[in-house]
């Protein structure tokens, strides 16, 4: 799908990858841009630099707020062509991390995609066209060695995206899942020494470029770091060997746990 003349919603648009997508989609000629974030002022600041983009405070962990975002976007711009469910959080910790962190990650990193799909996918299918771009992570294909909450929630996000692609693909609704490794954003500030950065840190603009290309080709998996494709194959080829490798990575990141 080409972004030109499309109505696009982006969550987590106040910073990082969401902001990068907003700027790139404006440059690609989106007709309407709705920028949502729990940080409503941050989203408004991004929107202010992007013509007639509109901003809205929205907690994607709250289904009623996602529904309100969709209703307001459609009131202003008409039917939504592209919903980028991108907001996410990273809470570090092992299996003993607090339930509250695991639950928050579950709601923001996984359930938000469910709420978005419920709100827009049936309408897209009825029109025979639409695009769901869900930001997961390479951690959803591999693992995040220092976060159980992130690993579990991002794996769930990919499983859900696969479900959506199988259900809605035949009805004209495209689904892509965005799975970067290290990207220089607020989420990763101060984590430059971690393994996800060993393969090269990308800027949000690089990720936006990969998204525009991936959407043009309507590819399910969008991997801005090509090496992730290799890791994915290694995991599929020999799970035990891959796990031994992940144990070494884990040891290098948190040697004392
Ligand atoms: N930065 C990376 O290295 C990296 C790698 C893989 C995947 N990701 C994913 O990319 C997405 C964007 O993250 P980023 O790196 O741009 O980080 P970021 O922290 O710069 O941006 C995330 C945005 O989401 C917003 N947000 C958080 N909770 C929210 C909620 N409940 N409702 C609405 N908005 C909320 C934040 O306010 C922030 O503006 C996330 O899903 C993240 O997991 C990031």
15-47 pLDDT, tens digit per residue, is 999 999 999 999 999 999 999 999 999 999 999
Q: What is the pLDDT of residue 66?
A: 98
Ligand 1 centre from 135 Cα, in Å? 9
Report the C-alpha gap between 31 and 10 in whole angstroms.
Answer: 14
Residue 199 binned pLDDT confidence (cut-offs 50, 70, 90): confident
At 78, is the secondary structure helix, strand, or coil?
coil
pLDDT range class, residue 255, cuts 50, 70, 90 = confident
For residue range 158-177, list pLDDT tens digits in order.
999 999 999 999 999 999 99
CA of 152 to the centre of ligand 1 (A): 16
What residue ranges define each of the domains in the chain, with the CATH number in brackets?
7-253 (3.40.50.720)
User: What angle is formed at CA 158 by the lines to CA 16 and CA 183, rounded to 5 degrees?
Assistant: 25
pLDDT at 195 over 70: no
- The whole-number pLDDT of residue 51 equals 87
> How many CA atoms lie less than 13 Å away from 209 in the CB half-sphere?
7
To test the pocket of ligand 1, the residue of 84, 185, 225 to mutate (highest count of ligand atoms within 8 Å of its CB) is 185
241 pLDDT above the threshold of 70: yes
Predicted local confidence at residue 76, as pLDDT: 97
- Cα separation, 41 vs 127, in Å, equals 33
CA torsion sign for 168, 174, 179, 185 is negative
The overall pTM is greater than 0.85: yes
Q: From CA 23, how far away is CA 26, in angstroms rounded?
A: 5
Q: Mean pLDDT in the chain?
A: 96
How confident is the model at residue 128, as a pLDDT?
98
2 pLDDT band, cuts 50/70/90, is very high
Nearest to 196 by CA among 161, 238, 154, 237: 154
Atom of ligand 1 nearest to the CA of 108: 31
Q: What is the number of the ligand 1 atom nearest to the C-alpha of 19?
A: 16
Give me the mean pLDDT over the 188-212 stretch: 87
51-55, 126-130, 162-166, 227-231: least confident range: 51-55
Residue with the two structure tokens 């709250």: 62
What lies within 8 Å, CB to CB, of 183 at 6+ separation is: 16, 17, 201, 202, 203, 204, 206, 207, 224
pLDDT in tens, 52-86: 899 999 999 999 999 999 999 999 999 999 999 99
191: CB partners within 8 A, 6+ apart: 182, 197
User: What stretches of the chain show up as alpha helix (H) in DSSP?
Assistant: 16-27, 40-48, 63-77, 99-106, 112-127, 148-168, 204-217, 227-237, 239-253
In the residue annotation, 150 being an active-site residue is answered as yes
Task: Tell whether the model's pLDDT for residue 179 goes beyond 70.
Answer: yes
* Helical (H) or strand (E) element with 222: strand 221-222
């Amino acid at each position: 799908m080409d972004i030109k003349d499309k109505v696009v919603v982006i969550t987590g648009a106040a910073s990082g990858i969401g902001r990068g997508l907003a700027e790139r989609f404006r440059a690609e000629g989106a007709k309407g841009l709705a920028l949502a974030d729990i940080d409503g002022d941050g989203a408004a600041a991004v929107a202010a630099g992007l013509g007639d983009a509109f901003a809205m405070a929205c907690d994607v962990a709250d289904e009623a707020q996602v529904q309100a975002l969709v209703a307001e976007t459609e009131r202003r711009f008409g039917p939504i062509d592209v919903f980028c469910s991108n907001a996410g959080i990273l809470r570090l910790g092992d299996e003993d991390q607090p339930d509250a962190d695991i639950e928050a990650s579950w709601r923001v990193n996984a359930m938000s995609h469910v709420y978005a799909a419920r709100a827009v996918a049936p309408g897209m299918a009825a029109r025979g066209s639409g695009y769901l771009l869900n930001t997961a992570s390479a951690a959803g294909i591999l693992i995040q060695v220092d976060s159980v909450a992130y690993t579990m929630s991002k794996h769930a996000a990919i499983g859900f995206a696969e479900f959506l692609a199988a259900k809605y693909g035949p009805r004209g609704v495209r689904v892509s899942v965005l799975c970067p490794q290290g990207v220089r954003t607020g989420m990763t500030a101060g984590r430059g020494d971690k393994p996800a950065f060993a393969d090269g840190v990308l800027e949000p603009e690089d990720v936006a470029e990969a998204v525009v290309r991936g959407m043009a080709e309507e590819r399910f998996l969008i991997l801005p770091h090509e090496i992730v494709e290799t890791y994915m194959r290694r995991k599929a080829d020999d799970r035990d060997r891959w796990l031994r490798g992940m144990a070494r990575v884990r040891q290098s990141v948190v040697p004392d746990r």
